[in-house]
Structure 1
């Protein structure tokens, strides 16, 4: 047995160090991300029943609803951190440390100004917001909900500034470290909630403080740690703030913002269309299938995350062969995930019955189209991540302006004219994903194999 474990260890050790530095780094981060995100999922699963038991199901639902509403303010970020991710990776690849530090300092300055202003406006407006009416809660919770809203909103504003460090670590091709920062925050929150369960009565304010303070504390420590060690030479400084350069970050970030909005509209309107056309029950069936097969998307995402910043590095170093090989490997990994998805499809009925305790009936056709959608999603994400990494966003930007209209139009056409069921939403999603499925692979081919420039590289 000892010999077997030794052989396995030697095999993985050789596997990890095989390839160039960029490939080795990606492998280590993928393995690290699998372990860390696996732990993160486990903590999330444990935390749900624990928090429900602490505050009761109704109050936990209020917490989730309020967090979702406040979460919409994340759009004030306008994708600026995505702009920083590309600009920082590009500057480091070129060895331009001055530019890298300027981009970092400017991002911290601009986001601090923006979110401080947003936070102050919220403090002024909050007393006039009737959270009891908004959340359909008991009137006796009015003061508690107002305080909780301030706690959650303060947390969101602070994290958007402090999470810049996660962007830098990810841009530096070390997404596992970024995942570790989030995981440590979750662990501490879980421990605090365990203490609260045994020492206090259920309180939404205590829950809010437990789930908000711990991640913020970890992010503050992470900022101090990384800017004292790995990124000491890039430490933010007022003298490096160049607001005129923020235009470069905002222009790139704004494009990412529009693209994200298009995806959000598509996902959010799905539930509305289903509720209007088929009723609330079918909203549940659609979302169950979506979450079930999204396991494929999340799993594939762990492998794909390093590709974005690695593409930036490889492209600006003109290491085209690495990009070609990496793309082929990701396509091969995608095939394995699709095979796993086929297995998931054929056992889906059993999984739904056990998972949902027989409370929801889901048609096989809906599951089939769910698998087809996430298969196309994984395929498209390979090429979209590459294009994001080299900031070739112009075509994707214009497509994102059209795709929500295509989605909504095709959904109503398939439902009202052709009489299709809920699976029409997955079909419409496939149609609206024309950029990722068709244009992005073509754009990748023209850039990498045909050396095309012009609109393709913008």
Structure 2
């Protein structure tokens, strides 16, 4: 088995043959493929176990609430992504003092925001009628209030430890993030198996196990990184400065709006489906998405080091390397697209083996989700390159259009024209005009500007 993995690694490395930057990229892609592959296997086991534990309706409510709470990740106001770019530059220049200053400034901001989140959670969570907000039966009100309080409390802790992720991305080591996710998923799976045997169906218990496992995992790896691996980053405390804060924030705020646009497209979908259809339809959409997102997961693993690698290449004025990388990524996307179409054709068999007859997934839902995944994978090639270059101004303006127009377009296609889930899928694809058209053209212009593409 080890020899087989080594053969695959050599094959990948030969395709991305190049300098030390390329070798680091390949090493992390290969490690991430293994770790994320195991994590995906756990997620596939997780779905039928959870549905059987809490039933399809509660599972749909869980997915909807999880999507709503995902919006809380935006509360870092883009500081995570701003740190990622600035820290990548400091690493490329081998400036340890600047690295410490960036980390300590960002940590101070995240701790303050986390404290505010927790205080607001204590004051307001019990005052909100979450059953009405999510469009579910009033009998769930007490259970939802308890669950929301628990999830936000856990999130306020995780919010601080999330600083680990942009640092690992900046160090071009996304495999470390994949390791954290895998351990969290594994702990969650063990917890669900325990609940199935010793607990009554409960959204609160489900939330405690799933969110608690993720928080515990990232806490342990964050502590290990700063105390054991990179103690130099915390040995001397660099006082946060307004100059460093402005440097991170000026770039981070643009990523903040890009993230809002992404969340509007992908995270409001569950809410819209639950609001205008049923929680069971949320489960239908998400099960199809889990199947086809395997392709997005694989491609995302390949792309994960690209952002920071491009930053490193730009600092070193190596635009030729960026151009070659884009061409190879486009070829990989084409291969993944063909594989995904094959999966679409055999999807009914896969669903039957996976979840049985608990939920029926129509072909039109699978097709819509496939179009989302392929369009998103294609666009991420160019968006990752532009993010690495820090060229986000045009993306920022395009994100405003997405924020304004996505919900009306989704409502018109899904409710007014009665296309249902497929209409929401098409709204996501249509509003991805930045990734499908604008970003590829902007990358082409950037390459030409640096005289690395033929006229």
Aligned to 2:45: 46
Instruction: Tell which deviates more after alignment, 151-160 or 234-243.
Output: 234-243
Is 1:151 paired with 2:150?
Answer: yes
Provide, for residues 209-264 of structure 1, a one-character-per-residue CA deviation record: whole Å limited to 9, x for no partner.
Answer: 43333333332222221113432222286543224422222232221121121222
**1:105·1:237 contact (CA, 8 Å) conserved in 2?**
no
1:424 and 1:349 mapped to 2: Cα distance?
21
Aligned to 1:362: 362
TM-score by length of 2: 0.83
> 1:363: Cα distance to partner?
5.1
Is 1:327 paired with 2:338?
Answer: no
> 1:79: Cα distance to partner?
2.1
Report the secondary structure of 2:305's partner residue.
Answer: helix
Aligned to 1:455: none
The 5 A counterparts of 1:8-23 are: 9=6, 12-13=9-10, 16=13, 18-23=17-22
Instruction: Tell which deviates more after alignment, 272-281 or 392-401.
Output: 272-281
Against the structure 1 CA distance between its residues 295 and 13, is the aligned structure 2 distance closer, same or farther, given a 3 Å change threshold?
A: closer
1:414 and 1:43 mapped to 2: Cα distance?
34
Instruction: Tell which deviates more after alignment, 172-181 or 436-445.
Output: 436-445
> 1:191: Cα distance to partner?
3.0
Against the structure 1 CA distance between its residues 342 and 55, is the aligned structure 2 distance closer, same or farther, given a 3 Å change threshold?
A: closer
Against the structure 1 CA distance between its residues 359 and 46, is the aligned structure 2 distance closer, same or farther, given a 3 Å change threshold?
A: closer
> 1:23: Cα distance to partner?
1.3
1:151 and 1:39 mapped to 2: Cα distance?
28
The 5 A counterparts of 1:211-250 are: 211-235=210-234, 238-250=237-249
1:428 and 1:146 mapped to 2: Cα distance?
32
Report the secondary structure of 1:392's partner residue.
Answer: coil
Against the structure 1 CA distance between its residues 440 and 128, is the aligned structure 2 distance closer, same or farther, given a 3 Å change threshold?
A: closer
The 5 A counterparts of 1:21-420 are: 21-51=20-50, 63-130=62-129, 142=142, 146-198=145-197, 205-235=204-234, 238-267=237-266, 290-348=289-347, 350-351=349-350, 357=357, 360=360, 362=362, 370-405=369-404, 407=406
Instruction: Tell which deviates more after alignment, 405-414 or 337-346.
Output: 405-414
Instruction: Tell which deviates more after alignment, 43-52 or 164-173.
Output: 43-52
Report the secondary structure of 2:223's partner residue.
Answer: helix
Against the structure 1 CA distance between its residues 265 and 444, is the aligned structure 2 distance closer, same or farther, given a 3 Å change threshold?
A: same
Report the secondary structure of 1:449's partner residue.
Answer: helix
Against the structure 1 CA distance between its residues 346 and 71, is the aligned structure 2 distance closer, same or farther, given a 3 Å change threshold?
A: closer
**1:62·1:137 contact (CA, 8 Å) conserved in 2?**
no
TM-score by length of 1: 0.82
> 1:96: Cα distance to partner?
1.9
> 1:396: Cα distance to partner?
0.5
Instruction: Tell which deviates more after alignment, 323-332 or 270-279.
Output: 270-279
1:41 and 1:90 mapped to 2: Cα distance?
32
Instruction: Tell which deviates more after alignment, 343-352 or 168-177.
Output: 343-352
> 1:71: Cα distance to partner?
3.5
Against the structure 1 CA distance between its residues 291 and 335, is the aligned structure 2 distance closer, same or farther, given a 3 Å change threshold?
A: same
Against the structure 1 CA distance between its residues 201 and 314, is the aligned structure 2 distance closer, same or farther, given a 3 Å change threshold?
A: same
Against the structure 1 CA distance between its residues 336 and 8, is the aligned structure 2 distance closer, same or farther, given a 3 Å change threshold?
A: same
> 1:296: Cα distance to partner?
2.4
Q: How many residues align?
A: 447
> 1:6: Cα distance to partner?
6.0
Against the structure 1 CA distance between its residues 200 and 390, is the aligned structure 2 distance closer, same or farther, given a 3 Å change threshold?
A: same
> 1:449: Cα distance to partner?
2.9
Report the secondary structure of 1:240's partner residue.
Answer: coil
**2:295·2:340 contact (CA, 8 Å) conserved in 1?**
yes
1:146 and 1:349 mapped to 2: Cα distance?
37
**1:296·1:337 contact (CA, 8 Å) conserved in 2?**
yes
